[in-house]
Amino acid sequence: IWGNCLSFIKDNITPQAYKTWFEPIKAVKLTDNALSIQVPSKFFYEWLEEHYVKLLKVALNKELGDTAKLVYVIRMENTYGNKQPFTESIPSSQRAQMQSQQVDVPTKSKSPELKNPFIIPGIRNVKIESQLNPNYNFESFLEGDSNRLARSAGMAVANKPGGTSFNPLLIFGGVGLGKTHLAHAIGVEIKDKYPEKTVLYISAEKFTQQYIESVKKNNRNDFIHFYQIIDVLIVDDIQLLSGKAGTQDVFFHIFNHLHQNGKQVILTSDKAPVDMQDIEQRLLSRFKWGLSAELQHPDFETRIAIIKSKLYRDGVEMPEDIVEFLANNIKTNIRELEGAIISLIAHSSFNKKDITLELAKSIVDNYVKNTKREVSIDYIQKVVGDYFQMDVETLRSKTRKRHIVQARQLAMFFAKKLTKASLASIGSQIGKRDHATVLHACKTVNNLAATDKQFRKFVEDLDKKLAV
């Protein structure tokens, strides 16, 4: 049927126009009197509607009668992996004066399990699947000193996309500090508040691949056009555009178009704009138009809060001292912190063992390479207490019993040796004692270790247990 339509069309337009606008079309489905045709892009679809709708109508009516329907399926090729984020399915517009109906975009992939999860059937307008991860929202993005500015700027942007001076909003910071999470959260929030807005999240890497592909396929204009209809564009890891002149150029045009039209642009980068290399000056200067907000290393409290929220979410309980141990030892990368939690849980459930400090230590070692593990004073008290089979309360208590005093003194000695804490601070953390007491403890331990064989064994054992 489509073949017949085509030959009719061919007879009525120039060969050049036919070649350009009709050869690329694929008929994909015929149900009753509705023919679905697949076109390469939205731009393509608009062009057909603009210029050839009458011709199409006549051709189709000839084949299928007066009630013929035409359904457009827009496909923007994406050959990178299974995800096909730019598949759109939209019906013929009103102007076509043909009734339209929805069809599913046929999955191209050979294996059915790869069935495209990214298609949203259009209702009237173009729907672009935003590629947002709903779990990366503001609620799950815990606030702390390290992210307060970026987080609240993100909130402001989400409340009024394109309507603040934070355009573009550039979120920058080291690896694993939450850039991607925050970028998604802004998008998710905007989608929530303004469902009609077209939001698109894309990594700079994928953007680059798509661009290259579009050049290969000779549809660079379609590529640009596609991005220009977006209301909120989120590009992750923009530093990856460095050294890619062509992609930078096309991004520059898209950026300008969006910005001029009051559309919101959100960017992330692992470097501050001043440190970005091999990015064109004109692009860099635009990055600085809005707000650059940094995600810094989370402080101890925030790390604790993040660990606890992940545990809570997974319904897992973990002893407080282990939570602190993790927070004390994985400081500069939240992703690693999460990774350590996950493998700790996995190990303990796999081996049907409790989560112990021993296990935590060995796992942390897999995450924090070549850095000296820092032990907390709480941790030291716990290890010393365990060694002498007494709980930490006993260790800290006021009792003068000899073996308890000894254990307490050992805890103080190791606190001095293994942490940067002052004598006063050690004293206050080990049962509210003053710095003179701690100093005395350290001297006593040194003396006893030199003179008492049994005591020296204690010191050596504990040294091993606390080894970093």
Q: Residues comprising the binding site for ATP?
A: 176, 178-180
Sole window of 37-45, 174-182, 285-293, 379-387 interacting with Mg ion (rule: CB under 5 A): 174-182
Q: According to CB under 6 A, which one of 42, 69, 181, 286 is a site residue for ligand ADP?
A: 181
180 binds Mg ion (CB under 5 A): yes
Other beta carbons within 10 angstroms of residue 46's beta carbon come to 17
CB of 88 to ligand ADP, least distance (A): 27
Q: According to CB under 6 A, which one of 19, 134, 175, 262 is a site residue for ligand ADP?
A: 175
Site string for ligand ADP, 295-324 (x = CB under 6 A): -----------x------------------
- Residue number, 172 or 458, with CB nearest to ligand ADP: 172
**Encoded tokens for 141:** 């993005």
Q: Hunting for tokens 């073949």 — which residue is that? A: 3
**# residues near ligand ADP by CB under 6 A:** 16
- Residue number, 56 or 182, with CB nearest to ligand ADP: 182
Q: According to CB under 6 A, which one of 122, 178, 187, 431 is a site residue for ligand ADP?
A: 178
**Encoded tokens for 124:** 């009237």
Q: According to CB under 6 A, which one of 46, 213, 280, 338 is a site residue for ligand ADP?
A: 338
Tell me which DSSP letter residue 300 carries.
H
Cα 188 from Cα 190, distance rounded (Å): 5
Other beta carbons within 10 angstroms of residue 405's beta carbon come to 14
Sole window of 99-107, 173-181, 247-255, 301-309 interacting with Mg ion (rule: CB under 5 A): 173-181
269 binds Mg ion (CB under 5 A): no
Asked whether the beta carbons of 214 and 86 are under 8 A apart, the reply is no
DSSP 299-367: -HHHHHHHHHHHHHHHT----HHHHHHHHHH--S-HHHHHHHHHHHHHHHHHTT----HHHHHHHHHHH
The Cα angle at residue 339 between residues 335 and 342, in degrees rounded to 5: 140
**Residue 465 partner contact from ligand ADP, Mg ion, none using kind-dependent CB cut-offs of 5 to 8 Å:** none
SS3 51: helix
- Residue number, 144 or 162, with CB nearest to ligand ADP: 144
468 binds ligand ADP (CB under 6 A): no
Q: According to CB under 6 A, which one of 38, 130, 180, 406 is a site residue for ligand ADP?
A: 180
Q: Please, which residues have CB within 8 angstroms of residue 350's CB and are 6 or more apart in sequence?
A: none
- Residue number, 310 or 382, with CB nearest to ligand ADP: 310
Q: According to CB under 6 A, which one of 158, 169, 177, 322 is a site residue for ligand ADP?
A: 177
Cα 48 from Cα 40, distance rounded (Å): 11
- Residues annotated in the binding site, as ranges? 176, 178-180
Cα 301 from Cα 298, distance rounded (Å): 8
What's the per-residue H, E or C state across 154-223?
HHHHHHCCCCCCCCCEEEEECCCCCHHHHHHHHHHHHHHHCCCCCEEEEEHHHHHHHHHHHHHCCCHHHH
335 binds ligand ADP (CB under 6 A): yes
Sole window of 104-112, 178-186, 355-363, 389-397 interacting with ligand ADP (rule: CB under 6 A): 178-186
Sole window of 71-79, 172-180, 221-229, 371-379 interacting with Mg ion (rule: CB under 5 A): 172-180
Residue whose C-alpha is closest to residue 9's, from 63, 59, 69? 59
Cα 349 from Cα 35, distance rounded (Å): 55
Q: Which residue is nearest to ligand ADP (CB)?
A: 178
CA 110 to chain CA mean position, Å: 29
Cα 300 from Cα 292, distance rounded (Å): 24
Tell me which DSSP letter residue 386 carries.
H
**Residue 361 partner contact from Mg ion, ligand ADP, none using kind-dependent CB cut-offs of 5 to 8 Å:** none
Q: According to CB under 6 A, which one of 85, 162, 176, 187 is a site residue for ligand ADP?
A: 176
- Residue number, 140 or 444, with CB nearest to ligand ADP: 140
Q: Hunting for tokens 């998710």 — which residue is that? A: 188
Sole window of 9-17, 67-75, 180-188, 448-456 interacting with Mg ion (rule: CB under 5 A): 180-188
Q: Which helix (H) or strand (E) holds 35?
A: strand 34-39
CB of 236 to Mg ion, least distance (A): 6
Site string for Mg ion, 436-465 (x = CB under 5 A): ------------------------------
326 binds ligand ADP (CB under 6 A): no
Phi, psi of 169 (to 5 degrees): -95, 120
Q: According to CB under 6 A, which one of 69, 75, 179, 206 is a site residue for ligand ADP?
A: 179
Site string for ligand ADP, 126-145 (x = CB under 6 A): --------------xxx---
Cα 121 from Cα 303, distance rounded (Å): 41
In the chain, helix, strand, coil percent, each to 5? 55, 10, 35
Cα 193 from Cα 187, distance rounded (Å): 10
Sole window of 1-9, 286-294, 330-338, 373-381 interacting with ligand ADP (rule: CB under 6 A): 330-338
**Contact positions toward ligand ADP, by CB under 6 A?**
140-142, 147, 173, 175-181, 306, 334-335, 338
**Contact positions toward Mg ion, by CB under 5 A?**
179-180
